[in-house]
């Protein structure tokens, strides 16, 4: 399994620079959550890491620059679930999740029993069994989101990048998803990077948080050091109080005037 290093990543769209010289690293088997207000550059950071946003700077997996890897090798190292995915029309859930196995297939491109077992396991774990033969187009928002995540998890990449994975999921399905990702991290050493708006969930699952504001790193560290009322007021323009759960993790609650 692999560590992820980002060095001086600057990215943007057209003439607009939206991410300025961001550097960070994530140890093998660790979980980093990127937080920050709307438009701060969280999705752009993930897109630059996977190479779909124009950027300068370096992205290294286990000290190896990603740009030196071919498409297949890169897909075995990095799995990515975008916030707004383009879904192929007409595919069933199973066929779509099976696409996640593409980087692992042999020369003839046929999936074997091991690939199908991975797909069935992920489909089952994300509560998609009963929807397995339904066309993607007929799914609800949360069901579609789970199918997109299932495809990324079935890829079994060393580093998993999930953009707002819990958006649209109810609390039970959000928890099941984050638990599954955490299990991959603990059992297989998968390195995890998520963007998350839910700061309490981010603190519960991630070992470290990286707070982006206006395309630069405003704070980085353990959840308790980043999630302070002062920092959140400054960067989110929000009135919050930070409580503590029985396990000590911070719980961020908005405060009414
Ligand atoms: N394809 C694009 N073309 C032009 N500008 C873009 C594009 N995608 C994003 N942007 C701009 O880049 C900035 C950062 O966007 P990004 O999606 O990375 O933010 P974010 O932190 O993920 O936001 P959110 O919390 O709202 O999802 C925003 O100002 C956005 O309008």
For residue 212, the ligand 1 atom closest to its alpha carbon is 21
Give residue-wise pLDDT tens across range 164-208.
Answer: 999 888 999 899 889 989 998 998 899 999 999 999 999 999 999
Between β-strands 31-35 and 16-26, what pairing exists: parallel, antiparallel or unpaired? unpaired
**Per-residue confidence (pLDDT) for residue 107, from 0 to 100:** 66
Instruction: Say how far apart CA 173 and CA 162 lie, in whole Å.
Output: 15
**Per-residue confidence (pLDDT) for residue 86, from 0 to 100:** 83
Average pLDDT over residues 203-221: 97
Residues with CB under 6 A from ligand 1: 13, 18, 36, 38-44
Average pLDDT over residues 15-40: 97
Which residue is closest in CA terms to ligand 1's atom 12?
A: 18
The residues spanned by each domain of the chain are: 4-254
Instruction: Say how far apart CA 185 and CA 21 lie, in whole Å.
Output: 28
**Per-residue confidence (pLDDT) for residue 253, from 0 to 100:** 94
pTM: 0.93
- According to CATH, the topology of domain 4-254 is Rossmann fold (3.40.50)
Give residue-wise pLDDT tens across range 127-157.
Answer: 899 999 999 999 998 898 899 999 999 999 9
Which residue is closest in CA terms to ligand 1's atom 28?
A: 39
Which residues have C-beta within 8 Å of that of residue 198, sequence separation ≥ 6?
Answer: 166, 174
pLDDT mean across residues, the chain: 92
| The pLDDT of residue 234 is above 90 | yes
For residue 40, the ligand 1 atom closest to its alpha carbon is 21
Burial 132-169 (b: 16+ CB within 10 A, else e): beeebeebeeebbbbbbbbbbbbbbbbbbbbbbbbbeb
What's the sign of the alpha-carbon dihedral 44, 50, 56, 57?
positive
Which residue is closest in CA terms to ligand 1's atom 2?
A: 13
Instruction: Say how far apart CA 124 and CA 103 lie, in whole Å.
Output: 22
Which residue is closest in CA terms to ligand 1's atom 13?
A: 39
Q: Is the ipTM of this complex over 0.90?
A: yes
- Cα-based distances in Å from 117 to 11, 53, 92, 113, 141: 38, 33, 17, 6, 26
Average pLDDT over residues 72-98: 89
Specify whether the CB–CB gap between 34 and 6 falls below 8 A: no
Instruction: Say how far apart CA 159 and CA 252 lie, in whole Å.
Output: 28
Helix axes 113-125, 141-154, angle to 10 degrees: 140
């Amino acid at each position: 399994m692999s560590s992820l290093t980002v060095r001086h990543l600057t990215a943007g769209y057209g003439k607009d620079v939206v991410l300025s010289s961001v550097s960070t690293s994530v140890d093998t088997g660790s979980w980093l959550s990127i937080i920050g207000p709307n438009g701060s550059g969280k999705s752009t950071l993930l897109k630059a890491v996977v190479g779909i946003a124009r950027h300068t700077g370096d992205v290294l997996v286990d000290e190896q620059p990603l740009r030196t890897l071919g498409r297949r090798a890169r897909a075995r190292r990095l799995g990515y679930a975008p916030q707004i995915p383009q879904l192929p029309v007409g595919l069933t859930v199973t066929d779509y999740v099976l696409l996640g196995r593409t980087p692992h297939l042999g020369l003839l491109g046929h999936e074997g029993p091991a690939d199908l077992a991975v797909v069935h396991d992920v489909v089952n774990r994300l509560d998609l069994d009963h929807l397995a033969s339904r066309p993607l187009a007929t799914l609800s928002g949360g069901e579609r989101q789970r199918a997109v995540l299932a495809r990324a998890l079935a890829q079994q990449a060393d580093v998993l990048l999930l953009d707002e994975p819990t958006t649209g999921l109810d609390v039970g399905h959000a928890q099941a998803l984050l638990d599954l990702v955490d299990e991959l991290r603990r059992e297989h050493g998968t390195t995890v990077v998520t963007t998350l708006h839910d700061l309490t969930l981010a603190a519960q699952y991630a070992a470290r948080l990286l707070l982006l504001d206006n395309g630069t790193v405003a704070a980085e560290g353990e959840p308790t050091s980043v999630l302070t009322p002062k920092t959140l007021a400054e960067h989110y323009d929000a009135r919050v109080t930070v409580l503590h759960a029985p396990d000590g993790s911070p719980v961020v609650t908005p405060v009414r005037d």
